[in-house]
Amino acid sequence: MIQGIDYAAVAPVLLVAVAAVLVLMLDAFGTPRAVLGWVSSGALALGLASVIALASGDRRATFCLPSGLRGSGPPSCSYVADHFTLLFQGLVLAAAVVVVLLSVGEITRSALPAGEYHFLLLSATAGAITLVAARDLITLVVALETLSLPVFALVALRRYDGVASEASLKLFLVSVISTAVMLFGISLVYGATGAMHLDRIALAHVPAGLQPVASVGVVLVIAGFAFKVAVVPFHFWAPDVYQGSPLPVAAFLSVISKAAGFAGLAITLALGFPAYGHVWGPLVGVLAALTMTLGNLVALRQRHPVRLLAWSSVAQSGYMLAPLAVGSHHLPQAVAATVAYVALYAVMNLGAFAVVTAFGRRLRRGTASYPSLDELADYRGLARRSPLMAAALAFFLICLAGLPPGIMGLFAKIVVFRAAIGGGVTWLAVVMALNTVIGLYYYLAWAVRLFAAPEAEPYDLRTGPAVGLAIGVAAAGAVVLSVAPQIVLQTVSIVT
């Protein structure tokens, strides 16, 4: 049997994958770093353009089984470019462009190998945009590992720092364990249902004797995703990895990797396991409550900005997970709430990481050396040295806290609250309300420092044009979505 391939459907993945190989070849011939950055950002922009072109057409699918193979019904496909897929692919590619902009100065400052860096970044991005289009369990696992494996090396590229090697090793060990757990769960699901495609798993008749086996398989698959998106109790790798990574890589993990992971989880639960909502619904609710509570409580004690953002990211995972606790009841609305929160969070958090990256480029006044200042206290008086940067960071933090004028953050929390209450998970909505109050403290405490009297040694801020553009793009997106947050909800309601 010869399968046809819809190259238009897979165009975003192909463009990014080809660019990854091209960057590696150009680097071998001594191409300047700036050119490699332009090639990477150009390929991502072309991929984003292809996503926009696909969005104007009908749903496309490829790598499909014939309708008569393994039962009747419509053909099952491994790769589907529907509106849900295209929304996440557009989000991932746009965020990846910002990460490339942040990487321009970091590659020089940290003496990172430019060719390898861009190759690994593009490879991981290709895995992310494949993951959100996957519609069978094997493709999901392969795409998830294509996303994860390059990140190990990206984290360890800061070779002069032993912390980076330790962080990479932790991430590697956690990823191997999570993959093993997920594969075992997939084997149980396949043994019980006899199917790998999500639509066939959802329709499979499982004998009563195999129902416990299928249920255990579903739980293990969820556990595998929980490792990837740093859900408690599978979160312990995140703070050390974020702190040990180059800052653009930490931003990649916090936004792109997390968005792709939650997209894969939502696809798996909604399309493959709706019949087991009574099994995974309560489990997801407990994990969401633990994740947001532990993340917020530990974030209160952080004095390092990246570790604070890491624990904040853990807490945010709890909010993203909360709507899915409704199980099979009101599942489309729950998925829409999770998607909306992920999209809004991506803009807010990417902007915060962009400013932290720019702040890391500061110089001691009158010298050419970098100060060893990396505490929240070092941000005191930033408004006096760079009013625009301080205003941008304050706005991103207010958005994350969910306070006006950061309406997009408030809007995101209202969406998940409404989904939880509408699905009958009122107790979880109460937990979210309490955690929202806790989160206000550490976000606002950081924002207040920006406008306080400076105490640290004077320094100059050398924000390069690429990093400045990244901050500007994120800030523009945050302002637009705070003025008109309904854009996201209307878009999500269409794609889900």
pLDDT, tens digit, 9 for 90 and up, residues 299-347: 999 888 999 999 999 999 999 999 999 888 788 888 889 999 999 999 9
Instruction: List Cα–Cα distances, 155 to 249, 258, 297, 404, in angstroms.
Output: 7, 16, 26, 35
Neighbours of 455 (CB within 10 A): 10
Per-residue model confidence (pLDDT) at position 370: 44
User: Do the strands 459-460 and 60-64 form a parallel or antiparallel pair, or are they unpaired?
Assistant: unpaired
Owner of token pair 């493959």: 272
Instruction: Tell me if 298 is assigned to some domain.
Output: yes
HEC string of 79-141 equals: EEECHHHHHHHHHHHHHHHHHHHHHHHHHHHCCCCHHHHHHHHHHHHHHHHHHCCECEHHHHH
Query: In this predicted structure, what is the pLDDT of residue 328?
Result: 81
The burial class, CB within 10 Å (0-12 / 13-18 / 19+), for 400 is buried
Helix, strand or coil, per DSSP, at residue 186: helix
Q: Token digits for 197? A: 């495609």
On whether residue 287 sits in a domain, the answer given is: yes
Tell me, yes or no, whether 84 lies in a domain: no
pLDDT of 1 reads: 54
Q: Could you tell me the two tokens for 465?
A: 């044009």
User: Which token pair is 221?
Assistant: 């698959």
Tell me the residue range of the domain where 316 lies.
Answer: 275-496
> Per residue in 79-118, pLDDT tens?
999 888 999 999 999 999 999 998 887 787 767 788 899 9
Q: Are 40 and 122 in contact (CB under 8 A)?
A: yes
Report yes or no on whether pTM surpasses 0.85: yes
Instruction: With respect to residue 444, please indicate whether it lies within any of the assigned structural domains.
Output: yes
- Measured distance CA(378)–CA(373) in Å, rounded: 6
Q: Measured in Å, how far apart are the chain's first and last C-alpha atoms? A: 33
Instruction: Check residue 218 and give its pLDDT.
Output: 93
- For 364, the enclosing helix (H) or strand (E) is strand 363-364
Residue 401 belongs to some domain of the structure: yes
Instruction: Report yes or no on 409 lying in a domain.
Output: yes
CA proximity to 255, closest of 113, 125, 390:
125
The parts of the chain modelled with pLDDT lower than 70 are 1-3, 67-74, 110, 159-162, 361-374, 455-462, 493-496
Report if residue 134 sits inside a domain. no
Amino acid letter, residue 97 = V
Neighbours of 26 (CB within 10 A): 18
Q: Residue 125: CB partners within 8 Å, gap ≥ 6?
A: 16, 44, 92, 93, 96, 256
H/E stretch holding 220 reads helix 211-228
* Rounded Cα–Cα distance for residues 375 and 377 (Å): 5
Overall domain count for the chain: 1
433 within some domain: yes
